[in-house]
Amino acid sequence: MDLAYREAYVMNREAARMRLVETYMETGSIMETARRWHTSRNVVRKWVERYRDDGAKGLGDRSRRPHRSPSRTQAQTEDVVVEAKKATGYGRKRLAWYLWREKGLVLSPHTIRHILRRNGFTGRKTKRKTFYPAHWAWEEDGPFALAQVDVKDVLDKGALGTKLWDHLAKRKLPRYQWTFLEGRTRLRFLSWSHEITLTNGLCFMGLVMLWLRGHGIEGEVAWQTDWGEEFGGSNPQKLHRLQEKHYAPLGARLARIPLGRKEHNGRVERSHRTDDEEFYLPFLGKVQTEEGLLNKAAGWMYYYNLERPHYGEGMDGRPPFQVLRQLGYDLPQQFALFPPLVLDRISADWALRGGNDLLAHYNNVEGHLSPGQIRWE
pLDDT averaged over 10-residue windows placed end to end, the chain, 377 residues: 59 80 90 88 90 86 66 77 88 87 87 88 56 49 89 94 95 96 95 94 94 95 91 90 94 87 84 95 95 95 95 88 95 95 85 49 41 43
- Please compute Rg for the chain using Cα positions: 31
Question: From CA 192, how far away is CA 340, in angstroms rounded?
Answer: 8
Closest residue by Cα to residue 111 from 147, 69, 50: 69
State residue 110's pLDDT score.
87
Question: From CA 238, how far away is CA 256, in angstroms rounded?
Answer: 14
Question: From CA 212, how far away is CA 362, in angstroms rounded?
Answer: 14
Helices (H), the chain: 5-11, 13-27, 30-36, 41-54, 75-88, 92-103, 109-118, 157-160, 162-170, 198-214, 236-242, 266-275, 281-283, 290-306, 320-326, 347-353, 358-362
State residue 120's pLDDT score.
84
State residue 126's pLDDT score.
54
Residue 107 near residue 99, CB atoms below 8 Å: yes
Residue 267 near residue 137, CB atoms below 8 Å: yes
Residue 180 near residue 256, CB atoms below 8 Å: no
Indicate the pTM of the whole model: 0.67
Question: From CA 182, how far away is CA 143, in angstroms rounded?
Answer: 7
State residue 363's pLDDT score.
44
State residue 227's pLDDT score.
87
Closest residue by Cα to residue 268 from 216, 330, 320, 217: 320
Q: 120: Cβ–Cβ under 8 A, 6 or more apart, which residues? A: none
Q: How many CB atoms lie within 10 A of CB 273?
A: 12
Residue 327 near residue 301, CB atoms below 8 Å: no
Question: From CA 223, how far away is CA 230, in angstroms rounded?
Answer: 13
Residue 20 near residue 47, CB atoms below 8 Å: yes
Question: From CA 223, how far away is CA 145, in angstroms rounded?
Answer: 9
State residue 243's pLDDT score.
94
Q: 150: Cβ–Cβ under 8 A, 6 or more apart, which residues? A: 179, 181, 225, 226, 265, 268, 269, 272
